[in-house]
Amino acid sequence: MSPFALNQPVASIDLAPAFTHFAEHGYARVGVALSDSGCAELRERADDLMLGRVVHEGLFFQRDSHSGRYEDRVLGKGYEGPSLDYRKVEKLEKDPLFFAWINHPLFERIASLWIPGNVVIYRAVLFTKSARGGTTLPWHQDAGASWGLSEDPVLQVWTALDDAPEDAGCVQVLAGSHKAGLVSPLGGVVPEAHVLAAQADARKLALPAKAGEVVLLHNYLWHCSGVNRTGRARRALSVCYMNASTRCMRKRKPPRSFIPVFQNSGESVAQFWYYPFSGVVAAMPASRTMCLLDAGHCATNSGLPIGDASVPSI
């Protein structure tokens, strides 16, 4: 069986609760979708890319800053040789293994509920917090003129490749902030005056995640992350999906073309297990639709400890 096969048919997954929560709060937990073996394969490939054991022309690399401060990043250097201290690797759609997960039928269903028409990806990025700590990421929004698009995307799908407890620099969000739109037309980093006015640091919500867990993030949602204090790498894949009619508006360089997805997708149907909220692992008949995290559970238990069986597998 493929390491990316789900433990139930994609068509049987009830995504309505997750999307209700997404619309209201700007984020939603979908559940643990990527298997242990799938996580292991993508972690190994991530390391191979950073260490130069697997090479694809055109990948974008950015190293951690020497201090761990976002403001101290050195830009424009690209790949600087074998190291596990890259804070991000972009254009992962060029890698067949990562693309197989990016193009998964689960994400086709998710995208079809939010994006009309054909779908492309704006970016597919490995975000890492290395075992040495990584780099902080300030409050920001993933949209605006800095993205150079004819319209702003609204859907990002984040998959944890490692357990991401709070101490590992998990994603932190300002729930509901997407509703106010962009803080500035440029987008990107939220100015400090707005952070203070919104009392964002006092109101932020941490989203610790289990390896294999999928989280949806609206592009307008304020989010940030700290450094990794666990001594173990924290890797995650973030993919921004958008309507295929979206155009690149940049002028200084040739316009970008965007990779289409979900053109030849299919799904593996298998007998599945799931982790009920009681904490007991149980075999379920193939005809049963698993209950995903409902809106209330997402809202009140987003800080579940790593390893808690309340996070369902799908």
Q: How far is CA 151 from the centre of its chain?
A: 20
> Token pair of 9, please?
């048919």
- Mind listing the pLDDT tens digit for each residue in 82-116? 999 999 999 999 999 999 999 999 999 999 999 99
The more confidently predicted of residues 279 and 247 is 247
Q: Where are the domains of the chain?
A: 10-300
- Mind listing the pLDDT tens digit for each residue in 189-219? 999 999 999 999 999 999 999 999 999 999 9
- Reported as half-sphere exposure (CB side, CA atoms, 13 A), residue 241 has a value of 28
Percent over 90 (pLDDT), the chain: 74
Q: How far apart are the first and last CA of the chain?
A: 15
Closest CA to 127 of 23, 274, 225: 225
264: phi then psi, degrees, rounded to nearest 5: -135, 45
Mean pLDDT of the 21-30 span = 98
> Token pair of 144, please?
């605006």
Mean pLDDT of the 158-182 span = 98
Residue 190 one-letter amino acid = V
Global confidence as pTM: 0.84
Q: Give me the sign of the Cα torsion angle 91, 93, 94, 99.
A: positive
Least confident piece of the model among 4-13, 191-200, 239-248, 294-303 = 294-303
Closest CA to 314 of 8, 2, 3, 4: 8
Closest CA to 216 of 262, 167, 175: 175
- Classify domain 10-300 at the CATH superfamily level: q2cbj1_9rhob like domain (2.60.120.620)
